Amino acid sequence: MVKKAVCILAAFVMIVGLASSLKFEVRAEGATNLHWEGNVAVWDPYEGATGYRLILYWRTWQPVFDEKVTECRFDFSEYLHPGYYYQFAVIWEKGSETGEPVSSPSIEVPGDPENINVRIQPLCNMVYWDELEGTDYYDLWVCDENGVQLDTLIHQIPGDSCEYSIADYVYRNGNRKYKVLISAYRDGAGNEFARGESEPADLSISEADYPSIVNETCNIEYAEGDSPSPGIVNIKTGGKALPLANKYVKFEVEGADAGYFEPYAFGNENYASVNEQYTRYLSVVNDPPAGEYHATLRLMYNPEGNGSSGSHWMVADTCEIILNVTAQSEEEQIPEARVTLTVPEAGSHPDPEPKVETDEAYTVNSAYWYERVSPYNKVEADGVFEPGMSYAVRIVFKAKDGYIFAPDAKFYLNGEESTSMYLGDYDKAQSMVGYEWTFVIPEEATEAPTEAPTDIPADVPSDVPATEVPTDAPDEVTAAAPTDVNTTDQSGVNTGAPDDNEPAATATPGGNGGEQKNEKAKKSGIGLGILIGVLITLAILGAALGVFFIIKRRKK
């Protein structure tokens, strides 16, 4: 029993000793001792940490800075702006482990935020402010005169924009005093560094601000088949200037005859001034037949200035449109027109004045020459036509009063018909048409070849026989007289005789000189063959004798 108790006691002592030798570590959940030293964030190192995630917050926990660092301090001077509160948070990292985020106390940066100069322009319901360098974006609040927000926040206006129309806000909230607040941001979402507010201003949108049509009616008259001139409509802006005026103003045509009219857009004026007058046009479309047509032009105005997407388009003013198309007069048709013109020659100047063969019904209105090759230069009065070049002349015919060119009228220049029209239906009445003709200037003629002389030149020696120029292929050509090598005649001309002093072989293959030359060639070939045969035989005999003496010596 005692022995058993001693064993138990010994075991207990060993366990206590082992426990006392072990060091138990209690790990903290996050970084500790976070505090500010001026604009520098500081915290105690966490044992074993390989880095820290550092976050800077601006007022309602909007992050301004979020990066990983290795040191236990960081200078936030470039991120802190006067007049604002900031906090920072630290999360330690150790391999794949991360701690809990721990936040610092708040710090208030002394001073006032940088000021933005904000102005409201009542004449156009626009807000303007001074640009601040380095701004990423602006936020804008529309408030009442006490600074209480009235409408939705206009968020993230681009940093290079320093104006904004609040006409739609005024339209929704009514005529009253307004104040505008603006904040500038950079280096991260929510990092405000400047703010400003405008003085209260009376803003309104009323009928006095609407644009109007100056003329009561828009009268358009033209003859059937002619090109109608567009109707002129004068627009006057109202008591408000219109930035990007095409977003505030547009036109509509209504009525049974509206399909014959197309109003031009108001235009993309960047700024339509107060009480300024602008001229716009109304075109006639679809070629209505003779008759009188009526419609109403409506000037539409959108106080919100939201363009085609706006929901508050209203009729600002109207104007009656009267179109009177008179019947086409009974004019005598011209079946053909003829002119004459001097066709150019190489080296000549252009003749710009065609002559009308009859002036009873038409005249020539204009004519000019041009090159039929790119870049199609016009030939001026002092220009010169080049041989081999292609040119065209364009001639415009004008019908006299009481006449009109028939749809199938033909046009002739020097009796040649042209089918190439370049000006047709000039005024939709075929009273002026133009055609062109093409000409190629002939190449300059070359001189005809001269016949070979049959007489012997005076400087040719008398002992050189004269040769006649054959008219047909000769049956046999007489050989030239032999001369010495490189000798010259009395005139100093080298006769070019062969080097072997043989007569120049100019005879035909069946001639006597040819046979002699062939015979000599054959003899030369036979002699050369015999010589080669002798040399080969001597070589074989020499080789045999050599072998014989070698064998004989070995036998000894």
What pLDDT sits at residue 517?
45
The yes-or-no answer to whether 35-108 and 114-205 have a common fold is yes
Residue 466's pLDDT is: 42
215 within 8 A of 233, measured Cβ to Cβ: yes
Map tokens 């607040």 to a residue. 181
Q: For residues 513 and 524, what is the distance between their CA atoms, to the nearest angstrom?
A: 17
**Is 128:142 a contact under the CB 8 Å cutoff?**
no
- CA 262 to chain centroid, in Å, comes to 31
Provide the pLDDT for residue 510: 41
336 with 354: CB under 8 angstroms?
no
Residue 447 has a pLDDT of 54
Check residue 554 and give its pLDDT: 54
For residue 455, what are its two tokens? Answer: 């007489």
Domain segments of the chain as ranges: 35-108, 114-205, 209-326, 332-440
* E strand residue ranges, 273-429: 277-284, 291-301, 314-326, 332-340, 355-356, 362-371, 390-399, 403-413, 416-417, 420-423
Look at the block and give the residue holding tokens 């060993």.
14
pLDDT digit of tens for each residue in the chain (556 aa)? 445 554 444 554 454 444 444 333 344 478 889 999 999 999 999 998 999 999 998 765 668 889 999 999 999 988 888 888 899 999 999 988 999 999 999 898 888 888 999 999 999 999 999 999 889 999 999 999 998 999 888 888 999 989 998 988 998 899 999 999 999 988 766 678 899 999 999 999 988 999 999 999 999 998 887 888 899 999 999 999 988 888 899 999 999 999 999 988 887 788 899 999 999 999 999 989 999 999 999 999 998 887 766 678 999 999 999 999 998 767 788 899 999 988 888 888 888 788 887 778 898 888 889 898 888 888 888 888 889 889 999 999 898 888 888 888 899 998 899 888 877 554 444 788 889 999 888 886 555 555 555 554 444 444 444 444 444 444 444 433 333 433 333 333 333 333 433 333 333 334 444 444 445 444 555 555 666 665 776 767 666 666 555 555 554 4
Among the four given CATH numbers 3.60.60.10, 3.40.605.10, 2.60.40.10, 3.40.30.10, the one describing domain 114-205: 2.60.40.10
Q: Which of 122, 278, 270, 144 is nearest to 205 (CA)?
A: 122
| Interacting residues of 484 by C-beta distance below 8 A, sequence separation 6+ | 497, 501
**pTM of the predicted protein model:** 0.47
Q: Which CATH number fits domain 35-108: 2.40.110.10, 3.30.230.10, 2.60.40.10, 3.50.50.60?
A: 2.60.40.10
Say what the pLDDT of residue 499 is.
Answer: 40
Report the pLDDT value the prediction gives residue 129, as an integer from 0 to 100: 96
Residue 209, both tokens = 């601000």
Fold classified for 209-326: Immunoglobulin-like (2.60.40)
CB 407 within 8 A of CB 433: no
DSSP conformational letter for 505: -
- Give the C-alpha distances (Å, rounded to integers) separating 452 from 449, 459, 472: 9, 17, 14
Containing 527, the helix (H) or strand (E) segment is: helix 512-555
CA 339, CA 367: separation in Å to the nearest integer?
A: 11
Rg (CA), the chain: 55
- CA dist 146 and 174 (Å) reads 16
pLDDT at 533: 65
